[in-house]
Amino acid sequence: MKESLRPTLIDTHCHLDFPDFDIDRDQVVSRALENGITHIVNIGSSLEGSRRSVELAAEYGCVYATVGIHPHEADRSGEEQVASLRKLSSAPKVVAIGEIGLDYYKGYSRAENQRQLFISLISLAKERGLPLVVHTRNAQADTLAIIREQMPLRAVVHCFSGDASFMRECLDLGFMVSFTCNITYRKAEDLRTLLKAIPLERLMLETDAPFLSPEGLRGKRNEPSAVLVLAEEIARIRAIPVEEVARVTTENARAFFKI
């Protein structure tokens, strides 16, 4: 694709604060810009990661921050951590609270503590007038139950991995849904089927880098420049021009995060 025709894209979920990027973070950001990724939303997934996310947003003009505590951290996170996150949430270029939610897959933290933390951080988001970046795995019913009690909310369900019923419920609540490069995997036919059904105006793109590299690069570090690969795959799946995917999803992300 010629540079003059390259679409404008936004990576709405990555983890540039992770040590995977310590040796070449500047080059990673430069590659993203070269591939048309004009904005990168760096996601806080712990208190320290949220601090680093805010720092990266201050360092790089194209980077915006979220602050949050992943449900895996719930057993080690209480009122003190939430209070610290509240202070961080007022920093410049903080555009959401996340990633937060429930994850019962490996049980790194007790479900009760996860639910308590989730509710506390939803309250923070409402207090700050910020949207949520929601992580849910093997916990869809509880996630929806908590969210419904806290409505109205603005939220994106990131790295979508649910079924058609869960997707309909998320859309009915007015939420956005984001997909990652795992839609390129050979065995991801179910995700590709869901992608055909979701309204384009409710879709955002993410890498979740350094995780979930595209097919052919699995096992290697992912990075924000792969959003272009993701956009091209979505265009193929939906049989529409990649420029349309880029235009609509970029408008969606700008409106959602107010960037």
Supply the CATH number for residue 78's domain: 3.20.20.140
Contact 89, 136 (CB under 8 A): no
Q: How many domains does the chain have?
A: 1
* Structure-token match 């719930």, residue found: 74
16 touches 56 (CB < 8 A): yes
Residues 6+ apart with CB under 8 A from 202: 171, 175, 176, 177, 252
**Has residue 148 been placed in a domain?**
yes
- 1 within some domain: no
Nearest to 100 by CA among 81, 117, 79: 117
Determine the structural domain holding residue 48 and report its residue range: 7-257
- Residue 2 within any structural domain of the chain: no
Give the residue among 127, 170, 137, 133 at the shortest CA–CA distance from 41: 133
CA 12/CA 5 separation, integer angstroms: 22
Q: Is residue 159, in this structure, part of any structural domain at all?
A: yes
- Per residue of the chain (259 residues), what is the pLDDT tens digit? 444 467 899 999 999 999 999 999 999 999 999 999 999 999 999 999 999 999 999 999 999 999 999 999 999 999 999 999 999 999 999 999 999 999 999 889 999 999 999 999 999 999 999 999 999 999 999 999 999 999 999 999 999 988 999 999 999 999 999 999 999 999 999 999 999 999 999 999 999 999 999 998 988 999 999 999 999 999 999 999 999 999 999 999 999 999 9
